[in-house]
A and B are shown apart, each in its own frame.
Chain A
Amino acid sequence: MLALYSNPKWLSVVRGTVERLTETPGFPIAQCRSITRAVDEALTNIVRHSYGNRLDQPIAMYFRRAQRRHDRQVQQGLEILLCDRGPAVDPCKLQGRSLDKIRPGGLGLHFIRQAMDTVEFTRKGPTNRLRLVKYLAQGNSAL
């Protein structure tokens, strides 16, 4: 578990931590980068949208091994849960935008969805919960 405040200065620290964490199960290096990018973008969204750029709000991150049955085999993976206490998020705003138009902004969700196998947003009591899961391709597991 990792607890931090919503100050963007911690983003680089979290990236370093997540990148190391993704190396341990045996994700290929490109996937380590993309998972790290997804977590970074998710945290940035919390700071910007959930907390309106306030720097002192709580964010909790939980990491655990994940497992699923896929093609009659058990697939190992990594589950990352990000929790914040901002206002409830409108699920319609979590769809991301089309990439057809050239304009700044709106790419973070696209990066998250591209990187992860599961992207689930739920509200539990006063807490926004974003659950991200990435599974290892068969044969890559070091777990």
Chain B
Amino acid sequence: MQISTRRNGKITIFDLSGDIDFANSPRVRDSVLREIRESHTPRVVVNLSQVRYIDSSGVASLVEGLKASRDLGSRFILFGLSTSAREVLQLSRLMKVFEVYENEEQAMAS
């Protein structure tokens, strides 16, 4: 699993790729929470288009990011959901809880 970060003005974009599972989801959690809490980024955008697999601990990391964003009045946005990511968010009934966009262009314009 790889995490890379880009900045576009006041927006931080996380590009995640590979498999997010119990072995590495703490890295996702820590990276996202650090950005939200320490950098006070008003909008955090997560690109899931290259995520082949995400387990419940990966979903939990995203939920923690969402909650931290809400607590600080910032936005937490997902885009480019892979099949695996879409399936687990649907199973968890979280699709309507997150702000989800098809692609980066839509996520940035939102």
Residues of A within 8 A of B (CB): 8-9, 11-12, 15, 30, 33-34, 37, 40-41, 44, 47-48, 99, 102-108, 110-111, 114
Contacts and interface: CB of A to CB of B under 8 A. Distances in A.
Nearest to A34: B87
Contacts of A12: 19, 21, 23
B59 A11 contact: no
A48 B92 contact: no
A37 B21 contact: no
A71 B48 CA distance: 41
Instruction: Determine the main DSSP class of B at the interface with A.
Output: helix
Given A104-B64, A105-B60, A37 B23 contact: no
Interface residues of B, number: 24
Interface of B: 19, 21-23, 53, 55-57, 59-61, 63-64, 66-67, 83-84, 87-88, 91-94, 97
Nearest 5 CB-CB pairings of A with B: A104-B60, A8-B23, A107-B56, A104-B63, A108-B56
Contacts, number: 68
**Interface of A, helix, strand, loop or mixed by DSSP:** helix
24 contacts: A8-B21, A8-B22, A9-B23, A11-B21, A15-B19, A30-B87, A33-B83, A33-B84, A37-B53, A41-B56, A44-B22, A44-B56, A47-B22, A102-B63, A102-B66, A107-B59, A107-B60, A107-B88, A107-B92, A108-B56, A110-B56, A110-B91, A110-B92, A111-B56
Nearest to A114: B91
Given A37-B55, A104-B61, A111 B21 contact: no
Nearest to B55: A40
Given A110-B92, A111-B91, A48 B22 contact: yes
